[in-house]
Structure 1
Amino acid sequence: MRFLLSPLAVLISGPVVACDLALALAVDVSGSVDAEEYRTQMDGLAFALNDSVISEALVRARARLMLVQWTGVSRQQITIPWTTVDTFEALDAFAGRVANDPRVWRNYSTAVGEALETTMEAFAEVGDCTRHLIDLSGDGPSNEGIEPKALHPYLRALGITVNAIAIEQSEPDLTAYYYENVIVGEGAFVVTASGFADYPERIRKKLLREVTQQNAALE
């Protein structure tokens, strides 16, 4: 026998909310990033994810989050695979994994193109999400491998937006480089951190801008 829900039961249960945001967090672990700076990035990112406004928006969006560590050619690794954060407990657990994620590489070059390519390919697993976003942080321009701009047509075709945070510790023109060569997609933007000490607050503001846009779309 088939059991049919009454109109009242359907109204009470409400619609099933799908994933509205797939967000890949791509963190620079190249040779120019020392151990303390690596820790600043991971702790700052975890802190930002636990911001009350950011966390509420991510949970409401049933977001899927992923962490990528990247450096030179052939050295990009998804260290935390796609994780659904549809509860505050799930988001807290993800933020905790970020804070404790061990560094994979040291002392290698900066291959922004390969970082984008590796991250881009992983979005095949989250095709049901409404928005696809790569949040890339780095402290230098690409100095080996695929030119990041060469990937822009593929990122556009897949509907993936790339935003970036430029850590201008030793590269004062990095923001301009990221604007010209890295970011892509409607509304894409770069946030500037003057150094690693500035990173935690800047990444919080960056995520707030990104997920608040998504939150507004849910209204």
Structure 2
Amino acid sequence: MSKPGSLLGALAALVSVFVPAWQASAEEYVDVALVLAVDISRSMSPEELQIQRRGYAAAISSPEVVRAIELGAHGRIALMMFEWANENHARVIADWALIETQDDANRFASVVMEDQTRAQNRTSISGAIRHAAAFLNDVPFLADRRVIDISGDGPNNQGPPVLGARAAALEKGITINGLPLMTKGGVGFQFNIPDLDEYYRRCVTGGPGSFVIPVTNWDQFPDAVRRKLILEIGYRPPERERVIRAQFRVEEPYDCLVGEKIWKRLREQYYWDP
């Protein structure tokens, strides 16, 4: 018969084998480690960028989001926010913070509003996913789930194809949710596609429980972000929410290189430099 000490030691060794490397240095349990990846490409106007910033701050500090955090198994989440555009641009706006109370949420929102956005060239969703996955790898908490919350107003048009970046993140157990901004007009309208929500669903999002919430009017933005955060924190959709579940059925192939093709066509048409 095995001694109790030997059995406990064997169980401890077995558990340690299955603990992911990204949890090794964690100090405290959280329900979710959530990265907010915010598009600041030049296709968005300064006014739109400011609406976006205010919308995130209002949603994070809303009583509904704080209540969703309080109802979690651990009653706390880890949150960080960065801005993305081209493949190499990943500017941290608010670094990893433990959000447990209304005061925590208010402080995070204040940090978001204290900063100023500076738009950048190009749209690399693949780069945004890669940077977000790296941030999640360094999260200083033990997270039950790891989620990338990515918003954007156009398809990938720079850097590696988005499917490869998505696959790499999913292999690490990361879920990717999308907030496609399908508003009309703007300086980058020529890069827009009419089915950006479908592009996000088919090419960008993935993982357990992943979803897409499209925004068709900027007036909808604050509420859409709030609802999205509640879904990500609570991991269950409220009834009658307009949510598109990602990758739910087998479908005809979708062209996930549509953004790269638009960029190539416009560059050739207007003789842009590579």
Q: Same fold (TM over 0.5)?
A: yes
- Asked if structure 1 preserves the Cα contact closer than 8 Å seen for 2:61 and 2:102, the reply is no
TM-score after normalising by structure 1:
0.84
Match of 1:32 in 2: 43
2:215 and 2:178 map into 1 onto residues whose CA distance is 11
Aligned length: 200
Give the aligned partner of residue 45 of structure 1.
Answer: 56
Which residue identity is paired with 2:58?
F
Q: Does the 8 Å CA contact 1:17/1:62 hold for their aligned counterparts?
A: no
How far 1:214 sits from its partner (Å)? Answer: 7.0
Question: Which residue is 1:203 aligned to?
Answer: 225
SS in 2 for 1:202: helix
Q: Are 2:93 and 1:79 equivalent residues in the alignment?
A: yes
1:130 aligns with 2:154: no
Q: CA deviation at 1:62?
A: 1.5
In 2, the alpha carbon distance for the partners of 1:215 and 1:51 equals 18
For residue 155 of structure 1, what is the aligned residue in structure 2?
169
In the TM superposition, 1:1-219 aligns within 5 A as 18-59=29-70, 61-103=75-117, 105-126=118-139, 128-170=142-184, 171=192, 172-213=194-235
- SS state of the match for residue 106, structure 1? coil
**Aligned sequence identity (%):** 29
After TM superposition, give the deviation of residue 182 of structure 1 in Å: 0.5
- Compute the TM-score of the two structures, normalised by the length of structure 2: 0.68
Q: Secondary structure at 1:30's aligned position in 2?
A: coil
Deviation of 1:215 (Å): 11
Please give the secondary structure, in 1, of the residue aligned with 2:229: helix
State the distance in 1 between where 2:168 and 2:77 align: 23
Relative to structure 1, is the Cα distance of residues 212 and 34 closer, same or farther in structure 2, using a 3 angstrom cutoff?
same
Q: Give the superposition deviation at 1:185.
A: 0.3
Aligned equivalents of 2:31 and 2:232: distance in 1? 12
Moved over 3 A (4+): none
CA distance in 2 between counterparts of 1:18 and 1:214 reads 20
Is the Cα–Cα contact under 8 Å of residues 86 and 120 in structure 2 kept in the other structure?
no
| Distance in 1, Cα, partners of 2:232 & 2:100 | 17
Q: Deviations over 1:1-30 (max 9, x none)?
A: xxxxxxxxxxxxxxx972111010011000
Please list the CA deviations of residues 46-90 of structure 1 after superposition, one character each: whole Å capped at 9, or x if unmatched.
111122121122255321110010001211222211111123211
SS of equivalent to 2:59? helix
Superposed CA RMSD: 2.1
For residue 152 of structure 1, report the CA deviation from its aligned partner.
Answer: 2.5
**1:137-156 superposed Cα distances (whole Å, 9 cap, x missing partner):** 10111111121211223212
SS at 1:192 equivalent: coil
Structure 2: gaps of 5 or more residues: 1-26, 185-191, 239-274
State whether residues 22 and 64 of structure 1, in contact with CA within 8 Å, keep that contact through their aligned partners in structure 2.
yes
Q: Is 2:93–2:112's contact at 8 Å kept on the other side of the alignment?
A: no
Given that 1:164 and 1:190 are in contact with CA atoms closer than 8 Å, whether structure 2 keeps it comes out as: yes
Secondary structure at 1:108 match in 2: coil
Q: For residue 7 of structure 1, what is the aligned residue in structure 2? A: none
Letter aligned with residue 22 of structure 1: A
